[in-house]
Each structure stands twice: as C-alpha cells, then as structure tokens.
Amino acid sequence: MVPKVKRALLLIDVQQAFLHPKWGPRNNPQAEEEMLFVLNEWRRLGWEVIHIQHRSHHPGSVFHPSNDGFRFKEGFDPIPGETVLEKDVNSAFIGTGLEEHLRQLDVTEVVIAGLTTPHCISTSARMSGNLGFTTFVLSDATAAFDLVDPDGRTLDATLVHDVSLATLHGEFATVVKATDYVRALFPDNSGASLQCPLP
C-alpha cells in the first residue's frame, strides 16, 4: 500500500510589490501562470494551501500594508479554508508559526512556489528541508531579479535563478517543473487530477 502523504502548497510573496520597477529585470515571465496552475490543482483536490504574505514595518516599503504592493497579485487572493500567514523576514518559517501549523496538520511534504528564487523561496526551502519536510521547489513557478554582487557587478536574473535552484536540488529539496510535479502525482491520467481521489 502506498503510504499516505499529506502535502501543503506554500505560495510565497505573490504580491503586487513585485510589480514595482525598482526590482529591475526578471526571468520566468510565465511563473505566475504556473503558480495558478498548481494552485488550481490544489484547490480541486482540496489540499492545504498556505499563502505567505510579506508585511514590512517600514511605511516607505512596497510591502507595507498601507501600499497596494502588500496585496496579492491578481488571481492569488485566498479563498475560504486557505491559510494566510504573514512574515516580516525572508523565511516563511521565522515568526510565523508555519512549522507548528504544518505539524498540527500532519503535513510531511511541502511544495513551494512564489517569489523570489534566491531570497524568500530559497530561504524557506532550505528551512523546510532542514526541518525534515520532504520539500519540492517548482522551478518554473518562481522567478528571480538581477542581483548586484558585493563588487557592484550585476548578475543576470536567469543565472541567479539557475544557481539558486542548483544549490537547493538534492540538498534541501527536489527541484521540478510544476507540470512534471503534478504529472508524477497522477501518472495514470497525465495530471487530470479532478478524477483522483482525495488524500
């Protein structure tokens, strides 16, 4: 018998703040589509969805609740039954009660999507793996912006994204595309999850 796995989808910082031009060039313009695809699959299956929302304490920040940037991106508003946890640092596990929430629900597998690959996604995936959760990061459902290194050189968003994912893969998490993750869940019906039994 296949052991029962309880999965949670962690959508991190899918907020309007990341539409601000100050972030500069970004890779993976289709990332939000992939996030929506997975979110919809999760909703159809009735599985646990956790929205992590970044809240800054600085009124000038694009993540301050007085600014539109605090709001979720279009299509990502939580629906009844879904959990919203606010954070004020990069890690979704610090100051949020997320670990306790997952343990209370007997979740053993955490699937991560959202923004951005090198910062909040990577930090949360590292902690998720180190805390003992089987962790997946959906490579095309996350994205990076250009970064500037300590010597002032600009590092391309795609390079930052790729190195961030390579660093996670096999050490903290399994890195897969969103469609490949869903297909692997339901190998017999190529992802037609509506026909699958609830866990």
* Secondary element (H or E) of residue 178: helix 178-185
Give the x/- contact pattern for a second copy in 133-172, rule: CB under 8 A: ------x-------xxxx----x---xx-xxxxxx-xxxx
15 phi/psi in degrees, rounded to 5:
-125, 155
Please identify, using beta-carbon distances, which residue of 10 and 127 lies nearer to a second copy. Answer: 127
**102 lines the binding site for a second copy (CB under 8 A):** no
Sheet hosting strand 174-176, strand order edge to edge: 83-87, 48-54, 7-12, 109-115, 134-143, 174-176
From candidates 51, 54, 73, 126, binder to a second copy by CB under 8 A: 126
Site for a second copy in 171-190 (CB under 8 A): 171-172, 175-176
Residue 93 in tokens: 């596990």
From candidates 27, 28, 53, 122, binder to a second copy by CB under 8 A: 122
Sign of CA dihedral 109, 111, 112, 114: negative
**94 lines the binding site for a second copy (CB under 8 A):** yes
Q: How far is the CB of 148 from a second copy (least distance, A)?
A: 7
Say if CB 167 and CB 137 are below 8 A apart. no
Cα angle 135, 129, 167 (rounded to 5 degrees) comes to 90
Bridge-based pairing of strands 147-148 and 7-12 is unpaired
Q: How far is the CB of 172 from a second copy (least distance, A)?
A: 7
**123 lines the binding site for a second copy (CB under 8 A):** yes
Give the x/- contact pattern for a second copy in 55-84, rule: CB under 8 A: ------------------------------
Which residues, 6+ apart, have CB-to-CB distance to 64 below 8 Å? 55, 56, 57, 58, 70
Q: Applying CB under 8 A, what is the total number of residues that bind a second copy?
A: 33
**Which residues are at the interface with a second copy (CB under 8 A)?**
89-91, 94, 118-119, 122-123, 126-127, 129-131, 139, 147-150, 155, 159-160, 162-167, 169-172, 175-176
